[in-house]
Structure 1
Amino acid sequence: MSVSEAWMFRVKAAQRDLIEACGGIRRVERRFNYGKSTVGRWNDASDPTLMPLGAIVALETDCGIPYVTGALAEASGRRLTDPDEDRVADVCVMTTHAELLRHTAELANGMAIAISDSRVTPTEAQTIDRIAASMQNAMNDMRAALAAIKAKGGSPAGLRVVGDE
């Protein structure tokens, strides 16, 4: 079975995000008894080494976020659902909106820098992908907050006039 390069880069990005969410290469090395070079290969976008299933399960259990599992589901045209949608029920939609806008601006800036010389290098693509991953998480938080508002039948926006008490 042939695996496309785009799919491989997506899975490698998910592995990198998973390692970061678990505390970085050193913590994964110590906590799970994997060698530093092994974890480093998993974290390196240019190395084709993929995590074994046992490592994926252990790390995703540790951080509580199915980064690699989600990427694998996407490759099959599927997506995962969060059984705990109420986790952000109390998160203010204004806060999630502000966070999403911050990531959007960061992505626009990263893209502008990358394309300023009419060429996007692999390093620039890696940087932009990290920003996109953060933006995707912010988008998921906002969608969950909006779902909670819909489930409640509406919610105050949390706006107030400064000086009114």
Structure 2
Amino acid sequence: MPSAWFYRLKAAQRDLIERCGGIIRAGEKCSASKTEVGRWNNDGYPDLMPLSAVIQLEADCSMPLVTAVLAELNGRRLADTVDAGELANASMMASHAEVVVQAGELMAKGALAFADGRLTPAEAAGIDRQCSVLERAVSELRLAAASARVGGLSVVGGAK
């Protein structure tokens, strides 16, 4: 039975494959077969992505999803770099609203899963998937907040 770190890596791989356009497109980007990428995407297989695939796919989607988990597993965090020009049009309110919605979804999933006093592997996987969605929303909110700290943003229409 694999340990928690294994499931955390598999979840990051799933997120990376999804962000790169799915199993077929991810396979094309890193020269892997659909079957191989499918095994990377499935918790039921012990296959982990080779480093070359991680590097290529993270570059494709511009998100260090697997690398961040590897850092986390070693007690480290990646530092984000923020391009203020790129983020100048970020909507702080929209990002915040998305975090609130996704947090509500996570609470609802948890409440349903725990209602019978049991947590099945499928329920745990569903909670993990929702955590990933929430994590992405929080990351986008943090980027919007960082942009606002650089030059300020108008959160209710109009210019800065």
Residue number in structure 1 paired with 2:103: 104
Match among 73, 78, 81 for residue 79 of structure 2: 81
Residue number in structure 2 paired with 1:19: 17
For the residue of structure 2 that corresponds to 1:47, the secondary structure is coil
Aligned length: 156
After TM superposition, the score normalised by the length of structure 1 is 0.86
Q: Bigger radius of gyration, 1 or 2?
A: 1
CA distance, structure 2, for counterparts of residue 115 and residue 159 of structure 1: 42
| Residue identity (%) | 43
For the residue of structure 2 that corresponds to 1:127, the secondary structure is helix
Letter in 2 for 1:69: T
CA distance, structure 1, for counterparts of residue 57 and residue 115 of structure 2: 37
Aligned-pair CA distance for 1:157 = 2.9
Match among 12, 27, 30 for residue 29 of structure 1: 27
Contact kept in structure 1, 2:20 and 2:26, CA below 8 Å: yes
Contact kept in structure 2, 1:12 and 1:42, CA below 8 Å: yes
Residue number in structure 1 paired with 2:129: 130
Residue number in structure 2 paired with 1:60: 58
CA distance, structure 2, for counterparts of residue 6 and residue 50 of structure 1: 14
Aligned-pair CA distance for 1:85 = 4.2
Contact kept in structure 2, 1:89 and 1:144, CA below 8 Å: no
Letter in 2 for 1:13: A
Residue number in structure 1 paired with 2:143: 144
Contact kept in structure 1, 2:29 and 2:57, CA below 8 Å: no
Specify every segment of 5 or more residues in structure 1 that has no aligned partner in the other structure, as ranges. 161-165
Aligned-pair CA distance for 1:88 = 2.7
Contact kept in structure 1, 2:90 and 2:147, CA below 8 Å: no
Cα 1:151–1:32 shift into 2, 3 Å: closer
Instruction: Please give the per-residue CA displacement for 1:89-128, whole angstroms capped at 9, x wherever unaligned.
Output: 3212111111101101111111112112211111111111
For the residue of structure 2 that corresponds to 1:118, the secondary structure is coil
Cα 1:7–1:98 shift into 2, 3 Å: same
After TM superposition, the score normalised by the length of structure 2 is 0.88
Contact kept in structure 2, 1:85 and 1:144, CA below 8 Å: no
CA distance, structure 2, for counterparts of residue 28 and residue 117 of structure 1: 38
Residue number in structure 1 paired with 2:41: 43
Specify every segment of 5 or more residues in structure 2 that has no aligned partner in the other structure, as ranges. none
